[in-house]
Amino acid sequence: MNPLDTIRRQRAALADGAKKYEQPMVRFLRDLIAIPAESSQEGPVIQRIRQEMESVGFDEIRIDGMGNILGRIGSGKRVIMMDSHTDTVGVGDLKEWKWDPYQGKVEDGFVYGRGACDQRCGIASMVYGAKLIKDLAFAGDYTLWCVGSVQEEDCDGLAWIYILREDGIKPDCVLITEPTNLQVHRGQRGRMEIEVHIRGRSCHASAPERGDNPIYKMTTLLREVEQLNTRLRHDQFLGKGTITVTQIRSLSSSLCAVPGSCSIHLDRRLTTGDTKENAVAEVRALSGARDAEIEILSYDVPSYTGLVYPMEKYYPTWLVEEDHPLAQSAVETYRSLNGRAPVVDKWVFSTNGVGSMGVCGVPTVGFGPGNEVDAHAVTERVAIDHLVQAAQFYAAFPLVFVHTMEHVQSAKAGAR
């Protein structure tokens, strides 16, 4: 039987099953929110996820050298991987919060707290999507790996570069569960972290004319960066590239000395057509950068296991075409469950897709509970109904993807 027909026929059972697990999903999510875990501190969260995977009945659970947790369902030909990162950003000024950010408050159909939306909700729905596969015998000729990845907030994509290069798994696709407001997302702008350093000459501040103050030189460059932002490329789907200054630093021997250097940190978002080389060249061409040193930063912070896996902080733009079998599988999964087509869009922020597809070339799409606008906010929250709907999607998607790929292969064979 066509799996799309199977899903449509069992749509009510799938919805009922997901609703049955609503409270276990909420409890699991609240447990995860209660564990503070910024990048490189995810160990306790990984162990809590392992407990839930064991309870649900995954066929295999492993934790790799970086500390990512991978849970397997099935052992078929098509290899499908789903991702939810396990770290969160910090809470910032607690005075901004109207409730305990680690409490997991439940109110008016939402779960609130740090990580509720970004990105612990994806873990809860993904794990219980696997439970629904077990309950409803939705297994097929596929192997599903549900991944809880680490260090995404500090270095998006790093964990997936490690998984795809070191863990010995060769997936046909990756589905990211970052918040999409239950839409299908098929790409995002890339990004870079660039620093610009201008040197001066230090001297005692009582006689500044003896030195050469680099802060004054930097002011010219700051204005030029602001203007550069208005001239960057625009893509009809992904949107405009951007550049902005996010930090200014000077290096001085004391507050009574003219500094010897001044540095700025640039957040550069890359749209279609942007490359690492042209992004650096655009900054280099600014008159204020004539004598500057321009540096692409690197990340070499140990994971919670102690592993260091260095990466340049260049995160490539990635995009799956609308007619790609993976994008069509996501659309058909949503249509089968809801009787209508989904909104197909893109993320504004960056995700682990920069690693899975941007660097490693594995086709990647996204579908997740929660709304991107709630990520990193002091009002961070996720709708409980989103948990339920996302779990259904994750249970149904593997069957649809396998069917789509079989159809593609048959069409290619017929064309020969």
Torsion of CA 279, 283, 284, 290, to 10 degrees: -170
Alpha-carbon span 273 to 316, nearest angstrom: 11
Which tokens in the block code for residue 241?
């590239």
267 is catalytic: no
Q: What value, to the nearest 5°, has the Cα angle with vertex 242 and ends 275 and 86?
A: 85
Give 128's contacts (C-beta < 8 A, 6+ positions apart): 18, 21, 24, 25, 28, 56, 387, 391
Active site residue 87: yes
Give the whole-angstrom CA distance, residue 187 versus residue 317.
8
* Per annotation, catalytic residue among 42, 135, 152, 153: 152
Q: Where are the beta strands (DSSP E) in 297-356?
A: 298-299, 311-312, 314-315, 318-319, 344-347
Q: Which of 42, 83, 87, 274 is catalytic?
A: 87
∠ Cα 247 251 252 (to 5°): 140
Pairing mode of beta strands 261-270, 242-251: antiparallel
Give 70's strand partners: 62, 147
d(CA 362, CA 157) in angstroms, rounded, equals: 12
| H-helix segments, 21-84 | 22-33, 43-56
- Which of 175, 124, 180 lies closest to 369 in space, CA to CA? 180
Q: What is the DSSP string of 341-401?
A: PPPEEEESS--THIIIIIIT---EEE--SS-GGGTT-TT-EEEHHHHHHHHHHHHHHHHHH
Collapsing DSSP to helix, strand or coil, 255 comes out as coil
Question: What is the full DSSP assignment across 205-221?
Answer: TTSGGGSB-HHHHHHHH
Active site residues: 87, 152
